[in-house]
Structure 1
Amino acid sequence: MNVSAHCDPPVIIYKQSDGFDLNASCDWTSVDRGPLLPTFSTAAKVRVIVTFILCGISTLCNSAVLWAANGHKRKSHVRVLIINLTVADLLVTFIVMPVDAVWNITVQWLASDLACRFLMFLKLQAMYSCAFVTVVISLDRQSAILNPLSISVARKRSRVMLMVAWTMSTLFSIPQMFIFHNVTITYPANFTQCTTRGSFVTHWQETAYNMFTFSCLFLLPLVIMIICYTRIFIQMTKRSLFSNQLSLRCSKNNIPKARMRTLKMSLVIVICFIVCWTPYYLLGLWYWFFPDDLEGKVSHSLTHILFIFGLFNACLDPIIYGLFTIRFCKGLKGVSHRRATDMSVKVTNTVVAETLKCTAITFPCKRGEAAGEKAQQV
């Protein structure tokens, strides 16, 4: 949210809390033609309620996935990737969601300048980690399909990529601690906000920083993911065309089936990331270059919906993992196996009972049965 002592009448409150935050949670009101101050609108109240609900759901689902993954004795490198993605989603859950909700309730920034800088760093770091870990999953699946013989080095490679992802997410977020600070105005009332106001000498510098954040946070990961899965699709198409032995379902080895299941899971995770965040980032891109065009065309409610839709991605990842995980499938198979076992026991008991009954009845006719068996053998 940009607040200055001068009269700036933006339609959308621009906080830049995660590189950019189209936070239209407050309505602008004019007091004696002075600076416009935000208020806690009805749309903001709905946003706060939904955000807290998503926070609870995401905490429950991601904690369950983290507990299940850590409880498994053998940790494959794919499971390690999922654990890292879950940790990144929990960072969004415990940092981005609560800070956004509380900030909407208080309207202005009530914490210290140090808290302003540090929380803005953590918020962007959480967003970066989600994007970069998703990229690592895409790169890992590309390597698994294009180079299936390199399974022995897959664990080491994924560990290195994860270290790079977390390191980059931290380094790229450090500028937040220098450009964000508390700004206070005294007219028409004392009002303090955590903002980037005054951190950039010219407007193009602010736009350049926003574009860098947008590129690293969304555009570059999107391009890498598209390239990875395009190469996977091309490779699998070539194999299906030139080799009749590629049928993974008919393979006696269970590894190709597991690899295909993991590929589907990672693809769905990537699609959900793209679908959830694309509308929000596109609106931010529109605001940077054509802020005047948004006035009167984009309602505050729409910006609330797009931001909440982006946060919903943190809830979808553990659900997707639950649907595709091996343990979940084994659980379903176990239920069907137990039902089949119970049915077979009932059938066996019935057969035994009928056999004993038949034996008691036909015991006197043993010679006839023996003769019949000999005739059958001939």
Structure 2
Amino acid sequence: MANLEHATQYPLRTNANYINDTELPLDMRFNEGHVVSIITYSVLMVISAVGNTTILVLILRRRRATRSRINTMLMHLAIADLLVTYLMMPLEIGWAVTVSWKAGDAACRIMAFFRVFGLYLSSFVLVCISIDRYFAVLRPLQLTDVDRRGKVMLTLAWTGSIFCSMPQLVVFHVESHPKFTWYEQCITYNFFPSDAHELTYSLFGMVMMYGFPLTVIIYTYSSILVEIYKRSRESVSDRIRRSSLGFLGRARIRTLKMTIIIVVVFFVCWTPYHIMSLWYWIDRPSAIEVDQRIQKGLFLFACTNSCMNPIVYGAFNIRSKKKDMTASQRVASCASKAHAGDVVCRVSWRRNLNGSNRQHPQVLAQSSLGPFTNFNMTNSSSNVQRITEKSTKDCLT
């Protein structure tokens, strides 16, 4: 999908080094707007490169220890953001420096393809994450082919991104300015035979990059929230389902919150730009009157999405590590006090081993508990519940 700045109207702008520079309109000359674009894209590129590379390395290290579908999908989301960072942002910087297109027709078509490929991939990976969370919460015990489903969804995300980006190779081309023939630009000008064809192409890009993901994500996450609300209101006497909900809340609510925030950030960043694009396609004369700084600013704001994902991921993981360290210290402290004869900690420890308040089953299973270990191992109902919880955990991760 084309940026408004490079839409079907011929951009009246060029490089300031030409000798007849004074005859050119302002947007055909290198001006303050280009300086702002260069600085902004450069800052976004550095932040996004550092953040997403760090997240990618952290996820790859975790994959060696334990495989998690959600981490795999977040890894693909980081890759999509890095494609935007290293392909689209440098292109925008170079384009702002030269103002006109200097790289020829082949490079114009190829770069137009990669200019949107990362954006499509980011949208489709978010769809994969939302569908995965949907099955994790609403169908937590359907373990059959759960990993295969994740791989199929990611494969479709990459394939769909390639398919949706292909029209860019045909639509974009190098066109000479009708008056200043020495000035060339990479645009869609003179390609579409009618406004209806142009609108169809533009709406296709908007629906696939924004409308379709929005519909799927709204449905999946609203279903998740409704299901959680229903379970929270079920009778307390329903022990098995109540335990399942409690385990979901303790073990996976952080991941659910993180993915929801990532989705919200995506649509907050991109919605203003798509609204402006829709306005441009429906009522072009009035949309053109909008200040060019606002139009460029909306696309720049949309590009900040590539910087926000690692910030969200990092914030949630830092908080999680702090909570895990605090909880582990509490468990270790109570364990030592229980061995020393502290009645309160001993009762609390027994309750944990019985499964009535198992906040950290992985810590309990790995701790050296002395005489209490035999009690845990011989409690058959607790072991059955642990097996059930482990099956649920395997599906949720």
TM-score by length of 2: 0.74
In 2, Cα distance between equivalents of 1:13 and 1:156 = 39
Distance 1:233 1:24, change over 3 A: farther
Matched, 1:239 2:231: yes
CA contact under 8 A between 1:23 and 1:303: conserved in structure 2?
no
Q: Between Structure 1 and Structure 2, whose CA radius of gyration is higher? A: 1
2:53 aligns with 63
Structure 2: runs of 5+ lacking an equivalent? 337-397
Find the partner of 1:109 among 101, 105, 112.
Answer: 101
2:321 aligns with 330
Query: Partner amino acid for 1:173?
Result: S
1:266 aligns with 259
CA contact under 8 A between 1:69 and 1:83: conserved in structure 2?
yes
Distance 1:86 1:243, change over 3 A: farther
Runs of 4+ with >3 A deviation: 20-27, 30-37, 185-189, 243-251, 331-342
1:272-304 CA distance string (max 9 Å, x none)? 0010000011101101111111243x2122122
In 2, Cα distance between equivalents of 1:190 and 1:69 = 49
Q: Compute the displacement of 1:202 (Å).
A: 1.2
Query: Partner amino acid for 1:153?
Result: D
Q: Secondary structure at the match of 2:75?
A: helix
RMSD over aligned Cα, in angstroms? 3.4
In 2, Cα distance between equivalents of 1:191 and 1:213 = 28
Query: Partner amino acid for 1:330?
Result: K
Query: Partner amino acid for 1:15?
Result: H
CA contact under 8 A between 2:38 and 2:96: conserved in structure 1?
yes
1:363 aligns with none
Counting only pairs closer than 5 Å after superposition, residues 33-72 of structure 1 correspond to structure 2 as 38-72=28-62
Structure 1: runs of 5+ lacking an equivalent? 3-11, 346-378
Aligned residues: 326
Q: Secondary structure at the match of 1:172?
A: helix
Give identity over the alignment, percent: 32
Counting only pairs closer than 5 Å after superposition, residues 132-151 of structure 1 correspond to structure 2 as 132-151=124-143
Matched, 1:86 2:83: no
Q: Secondary structure at the match of 1:86?
A: helix
Distance 1:186 1:198, change over 3 A: closer
In 1, Cα distance between equivalents of 2:29 and 2:124 = 35
Counting only pairs closer than 5 Å after superposition, residues 53-202 of structure 1 correspond to structure 2 as 53-72=43-62, 73=64, 74-185=66-177, 187-188=179-180, 190-202=182-194
Q: Secondary structure at the match of 2:141?
A: helix
Q: Compute the displacement of 1:200 (Å).
A: 1.2
Counting only pairs closer than 5 Å after superposition, residues 277-288 of structure 1 correspond to structure 2 as 277-288=270-281
Distance 1:78 1:60, change over 3 A: same
TM-score by length of 1: 0.77
In 1, Cα distance between equivalents of 2:281 and 2:185 = 20
Larger mean CA deviation between 51-60 and 226-235 belongs to: 226-235
